Amino acid sequence: MFAGIPSPESLSSLERFASFLDANKPIIRKYLAFLSEKKLSKAAVNRKFSSLRTFYKFLTLNEYVSASPMGSMSGPKKDKKMPAFLTEEEMRNLFEIPELSLRDKAMIELLYSCGLRIEELARLNIKNIDFLGNTVTVFGKGGKERIVPIGEPALEAMRDYIIQRRQNKLPAEINSPAFLNVRAKRLDQRTARRALHNWFIKAGFAKKVSPHTLRHTFATHILDRGCDLRSVQEMLGHKNLVTTQIYTHVTVESLKRVYEKAHPRAK
């Protein structure tokens, strides 16, 4: 088959477009508006838009039309998914699992205390954790370095884990990986995800939870308690503030409470 021919799966999308075959940009825009009026999701409209782009690419390559009316047109922007996060009570339930291992407790503490990505956690060495200065040196995307504060419970969890390693004659020198697998080698992020997933199940969370949920939870909780957005951006290692702003929706209720307490005409 010729490259670019619409797949059979896309034909139903094209059938809806049959009455608009003599198309130009205004008509295509009307067609997209027609789809939106039918209460289709933005994802569904984008799939149909993609089918049209492929269809006109085929027509252009085979010289059925001189140029595609799609041009630089783009489909509707996808809705941004609001990040899932755990409540403070859910975090307490997670930490209070009786059989939670020292290693995995330390991982959860660092993810939640510092807002780390799982790959950042896996790259850490013990020397990256400043037990006196209460900071962690993190290497993010593109190897970009940032320094993030760390809470005392997370430091205590790391101390307990390192002491256990020394007692078991496992690597615990300053240049050793922060977290080890069962073979006493650096814990990779896939194994870390699998280990943490088991604890999320044991905690009985009804929602889908991943290590990245703990990063969302970190950002949500500190914003909810009054941290400014720019500081959260720095701690998360976001290049643009816009990326961090997705968390602001969860602080509305907190802002309402502050407003009601602070504003003389709030009630």
> Which entry of 123, 215, 216, 221 is annotated as an active-site residue?
215
DSSP code at position 143: G
**Which of 65, 67, 113 minimizes the C-alpha distance to 91?**
113
CB atoms within 10 A of CB 16: 15
Task: Pick the catalytic residue from 30, 78, 141, 239.
Answer: 141
Is 212 a catalytic site residue?
A: yes
- The whole-angstrom separation of Cα 54 and Cα 26 is 19
User: With 0-12 CB in 10 A as exposed, 13-18 as middle and 19+ as buried, what is 103?
Assistant: buried
Residue of 16, 146, 186, 212 marked catalytic: 212
Q: Which of 119, 191, 121, 118 is nearest to 158 (CA)?
A: 121
Q: What is the dihedral of CA 168, 171, 177, 179, to 10 degrees?
A: -10
Q: Establish whether 221 is a catalytic residue.
A: no
161: annotated active-site residue: no
**Rounded alpha-carbon distances, angstroms, from residue 149 to 19, 79, 112, 179, 204:** 60, 33, 11, 19, 30
**CB–CB of 158/106 below 8 Å?**
yes
* 216 classed as catalytic: no
Is 215 annotated in the active site?
Answer: yes
Q: Which of 48, 117, 123, 216 is catalytic?
A: 117
The angle at the Cα of 6, spanning 3 to 12, to the nearest 5 degrees, equals 175
Helix (H) or strand (E) holding 130: strand 129-130
Residues 6+ apart with CB under 8 A from 218: 111, 112, 113, 114, 115
Task: Confirm whether 64 is a catalytic residue.
Answer: no
Name the nearest CA neighbour of 55 among 120, 4, 129. 4
Task: Give catalytic residue positions.
Answer: 117, 141, 212, 215, 238, 247
